[in-house]
């Protein structure tokens, strides 16, 4: 079962992506990992359908996981569940992740040529995943009273 904070790792078929930019970024991403895209699960109500927050060339969006899985052909999708230390309040972490998702949903990327050059070396969705992971880590450290 998927819960807020879980991470979805996508191994997409690069040949099925838009040429030349989408396929190129996908293929380049696979030089360091078999996964080329990540999404963060957001599920404010455990009874509701889980949503996936992700970044792409059009910006940040949140949609139902089922819709995301139907959207493209994938070689594989892996799930990494959020594991919290027992000293951390899980409801507080969940609330922070959900607030973050609400805040960034619909955000667009700057459209400068230099941004695409930077993206060629490190795709936007990976940069955003790193930033999101850092924000979650900072919140966890703060909740645990760590510097």
With a CB cutoff of 8 Å and minimum separation 6, the contacts of 21 are 57, 116
Whether the predicted pLDDT of 42 surpasses 90: yes
Length of the chain counted residue by residue? 147
Whether the predicted pLDDT of 116 surpasses 60: no
Instruction: Give tens-digit pLDDT for 43-100.
Output: 987 778 999 999 887 889 999 999 988 876 788 899 999 998 888 888 989 999 999 9
Q: Count CB atoms within 10 A of the CB of residue 128.
A: 21
pLDDT at 138: 67
Cα separation values, 102 from 22, 27, 67, 107, Å:
26, 30, 19, 10
**What kind and span of H or E run contains 80?**
strand 74-80
pLDDT at 17: 76
**pLDDT interval class at 3 (50, 70, 90):** very high
pLDDT at 69: 87
Higher pLDDT, 19 or 32: 32
d(CA 99, CA 17): 31
d(CA 116, CA 97): 28
């Amino acid at each position: 079962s998927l819960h807020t904070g879980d991470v979805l790792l996508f191994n997409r078929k690069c040949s099925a992506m838009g040429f030349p930019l989408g396929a190129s970024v996908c293929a380049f991403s696979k030089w360091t990992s078999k996964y080329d895209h990540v999404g963060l699960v957001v599920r404010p109500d455990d009874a509701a359908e889980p949503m996936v927050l992700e970044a792409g060339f059009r910006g940040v969006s949140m949609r139902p996981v089922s819709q995301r899985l139907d959207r493209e052909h994938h070689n594989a999708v892996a799930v990494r569940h959020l594991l919290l230390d027992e000293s951390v309040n899980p409801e507080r972490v969940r609330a922070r992740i959900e607030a973050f998702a609400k805040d960034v949903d619909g955000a667009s990327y700057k459209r400068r040529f230099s941004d695409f050059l930077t993206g060629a070396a490190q795709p936007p969705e990976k940069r955003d995943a790193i930033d999101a992971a850092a924000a979650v880590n900072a919140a966890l450290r703060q909740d645990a009273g760590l510097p």
